[in-house]
Structure 1
Amino acid sequence: MKEEDRDNIVLFPNVERRLVEKGIEALQNKQLSEAISLLEQGYALDPDNGDVMAALVLAYFEGGALTRAKELCKEMLLAGQGDYFQIVEMYITILIQLHEYKEITEVLEALLDEREVPAEKREHFMTILQFSQRLADNEPVPEMTEQDSEPARQETGIQPEELDLLKITDLNEQVALAGKLANQNIRPFVNRIGEYLKSAEGHPFMKTMLLNILREQEMLNEMNVVKFGLMENFIPAELPAPHSQPLENEVGRRLATELEHQDPFLLESTLSLLGRHEFAVYPFKLEPDDPAAWAAAFEYTAQVYLGNEPSVGELAGRYSTNLDAVSKAAGWIEKVEEISYPII
């Protein structure tokens, strides 16, 4: 098309509104690839529309494109789009999923320094900030004596008998509570935490954070952990840290080799899926013990999320692995996703 012809294109009235409406409808129907395409077109036509930006952030988030969701959410903050504190909470939620605790620290430090934060949100943000600072620096929790625990409990307002972990379902609230517990002697809370870890109702994400706190405080008590119908005893002090990067393991490397040049967007979605899966299942190791099968299964699931119809057999052949193993791994991924990260 000639440049002068392109300049003469006339858009139909309200075309961006119709694109956005169709995009939101596709998003509600879990047709994520179509939703992203439509909303990106709407955003290109109306880049200052906060509602379009928010819908596109959600589409990216649900499609596993967390880096794109993060970048657009950051753009909303810089442009002053939407309710500032709601956008901050959305941004923090995305960063938690990405385990980008240094960025969380920088955002919340700037927020608390530069803005008037409502009293009911200040303590919440402060707790997440303190927890993220330690995770960003990979610092262990200082060892506390029993005498240290009483001032800590008074400061945070948490008493062991008041701790009701099953009532906490919001992701940010879970991180805030974990931050409070991490900053004091965890030993008075071990019985309550133990009850939660072995409860079938306890959320896998929260269980991972609690196990990590116990690990950091070198807890030698054997803890019974239940996740996804599995049950096993673990000694927290002997566990590895849960915050591994997807590309640091064999499954992530296989995915990168296969998709890095072929489909970078699909790779981003797949690695995001892998990262949150590993955090959710920690400290369990799921069968099959075949990195190629897991790589194929993660790509399969990511493609399904994006509205495609991949062939398990074709993926098994491409990754040189067994069809039954891929199906088994994909079944586990679906189960973990359904329980741990239901689509909003």
Structure 2
Amino acid sequence: MKKDQNDRDSAIIIPFPGLKDRYYEKGISSLESHHFQEAVDFLKQAYQMDSTDPHISAAYLAALYENGNYDDSKRMAEELLKSGIGSFYDVLDIYLMILIQLNDYKQVVATLKPLFEENEIPPEKAEHFLQLLKLSEKAVRNQVMENSPKDDIPFLHQEQSPQDQLIGLGMLKDKNIHPYLDSLIEMLSVEKVHPFIKTAILSLFKENKIDQSILVEKLGKKETLNPMDIPSAEEFPFFHLVKNQMESQLRDHNPVLLEQILDMIERHSLCLYPFEWEPTNPSVWTAAYRAMGYELYGENWNLEKLAEFHSVQEAELGTIFTFIVKLEEISSAIVSPQ
């Protein structure tokens, strides 16, 4: 039987030129701005058009993971590892993070142990993967973590990297944290514990409704706080004032730079949490972040003129800019690759 014209037209799908790249670019932009569901939607379209592109595959996998689609991202990571698409050890790194989120520590051990036995781990990944292997072996031995003595909690070894401490905190997801409460509280007042780790601990306390006064020391500040009485980092009004000012300045002029600065502000807010931003004039912070934007792109800028443009004190702007540079160094360390 012959097909009519409508049948033939519907059977032929010709994508617009460059559509795959457009989906990929929009997906990356959404991923960088932490709009993870949006990133998944865009990158899924690109992946369906070309599942062999290593850049698209890696980005789609990262988006699924960041969006909390652990089962889907696990299946995809396993497919990529089998097919050899993309960087094997970068995909493996994400795969291991997914397994930890799923509490599948046995599979982490089963995956990493043969690689170490065959000396196939690249030097730059060896220490990181070894920490994951040790953490997972300990988690397998202590399957009922609530009954484990607090000295056996792997992430409380303060000499570990912040990345591995975060993994340890992830191991407490959906667990009873009360056996470890004293150790966690102590970490909040230890200077060498990374500010981001302290934020993660406070978030864990809020999730578990820990209703007691706790001493928090961070970035030279010290205060006794009750986790149940403080808002989340995103709920601080000052945080939104600075973001809104940046958006009004850059939304139409330079949206790419805007996304980079907003991401920076969000990371810095997590580092400062639960303390308020000081001074409380949002304009001086906005001006300082604008200066960071100039620095990102190697553009010349003048402190005096920038202060005048934003109607802020030059000395105060200089102080805040220096502090932001410090915050960027601190917050970048927690997300830098191993």
Output the TM-score relative to the length of structure 1: 0.60
CA distance in 2, matches of 1:128, 1:247: 32
The 1-side partners of 2:241 and 2:253 are apart by: 19
What is the alpha-carbon distance in structure 2 between the residues aligned to residue 314 and residue 241 of structure 1? Answer: 35
Q: Which residue of 1 aligns with 2:332?
A: 341
Q: 1:239 to 1:268 in 2, by over 3 A?
A: same
297-306 vs 236-245, which moves further: 236-245
Report the counterpart of residue 161 of structure 1 in structure 2. Answer: 151
For each residue in 1:111-164, what CA deviation from the matched residue of structure 2 results, as whole angstroms up to 9, or x when unmatched? 22455389998674144368xxxxxxxxxxxxxxxxxxxxxx734586421232
Aligned mate of 2:242, from 225, 241, 251: 251
* Residue among 71, 80, 92 paired with 1:109: 71
Distance 1:273 1:245 in 2: 16
Contact map agreement 2:213 2:225 (CA 8 A) in 1:
yes
* Alpha-carbon shift at residue 104 of structure 1 (Å): 2.5
Are the aligned partners of 2:287 and 2:310 in contact in 1 as well (CA < 8 Å)? yes
Aligned CA distance change for structure 1 residues 299 and 263 (closer, same or farther; 3 Å): same
Kept in 1: contact 2:283–2:312 (CA 8 A): yes
In the alignment, which residue of structure 2 is the partner of 1:66?
Answer: 32
Q: CA RMSD in A?
A: 4.1
Residue number in structure 2 paired with 1:266: 257
1:286 to partner: Cα distance: 3.1
> 101, 107, 112: which one pairs with 1:128?
101
Q: Distance in 1 between matches of 2:194 and 2:188?
A: 9
Taking the aligned partners of 1:208 and 1:263, their CA distance within structure 2 comes to 31
1:295 CA drift (Å): 0.7
Number of the residue aligned with 2:183: 192
Q: Point out the structure with max Rg over C-alpha.
A: 2
Between the aligned partners of 1:125 and 1:102, the Cα distance in structure 2 is 7
Rate the CA distance shift 1:264–1:190 in 2: closer, same or farther, 3 A: same
When residues 80 and 305 of structure 1 are mapped into structure 2, their CA distance, relative to the original with a 3 A threshold, is same
Given that 1:266 and 1:303 are in contact with CA atoms closer than 8 Å, whether structure 2 keeps it comes out as no
Q: SS at 1:288's partner residue?
A: coil
| Bigger mean CA offset, 187-196 vs 71-80 | 71-80
* SS of residue in 2 equivalent to 1:218: coil
- Cα distance in 2, alignment partners of residues 211 and 332 from structure 1: 23
1:198–1:224: 8 Å Cα contact kept in structure 2?
Answer: yes
Residue number in structure 2 paired with 1:206? 197
| Structure 1 residues 309 and 256: CA distance shift in structure 2, 3 A | same
Tell whether the 8 Å contact from 2:65 to 2:98 is kept in structure 1 after alignment: no
Asked if structure 2 preserves the Cα contact closer than 8 Å seen for 1:217 and 1:237, the reply is no
Question: Which residues in structure 2 correspond to 1:40-59 (within 5 Å)?
Answer: none
Higher RCO (C-alpha 8 Å, min separation 6): 1
In structure 2, the partner of 1:232 is 223
Answer yes or no: is the 8 Å Cα contact 2:241–2:282 preserved in 1: yes
Deviations 1:181-237 (A, max 9, x none): 231122211111122111111011111011111112121222222222222221111
Distance 1:210 1:275 in 2: 18
Superposition deviation, residue 167 in structure 1 = 3.9
Q: TM-score, normalised by structure 2?
A: 0.61
Q: Contact conserved, 1:313 with 1:323, CA < 8 A, in 2?
A: yes
How big is the shift at 1:169?
2.1
- Match for residue 150 of structure 1? none
CA distance in 1: counterparts of 2:234 and 2:102, whole angstroms: 17
1:166 aligned counterpart, secondary structure? coil
Change (3 A) 1:91 1:116: closer
Q: Which amino acid aligns with 1:278?
A: S
Matched residue type, 2:249: E
d(CA) in 2 for partners of 1:322 and 1:129?
Answer: 51
Q: In structure 1, which of residues 320, 323, 327 is the aligned counterpart of residue 318 of structure 2?
A: 327
Equivalent residues of 2:162, 2:194 under 8 A apart: no
1:80-139 Cα shifts (integer Å, max 9, x gaps): 427x7xx47x974xx7xxxxx985312x32122455389998674144368xxxxxxxxx
Retained in 1: the 8 A contact 2:78–2:95? no
Relative to 1, partners in 2 of residues 1:244 and 1:109: Cα closer, same or farther, differing over 3 Å?
Answer: farther
Is 1:81 matched with 2:54?
A: yes
Q: Offset of 1:270 from its aligned partner? A: 1.2
Distance 1:203-1:320 versus aligned 2 partners, 3 A rule: same
5+ residue gaps, structure 1: 1-43, 48-52, 96-100, 131-152
SS in 2 for 1:225: strand
The Cα shift of 1:291 comes to 0.4
Q: Deviations over 1:41-88 (max 9, x none)?
A: xxx9xx9xxxxx9xx9xxx99xxx9349x9799679954427x7xx47
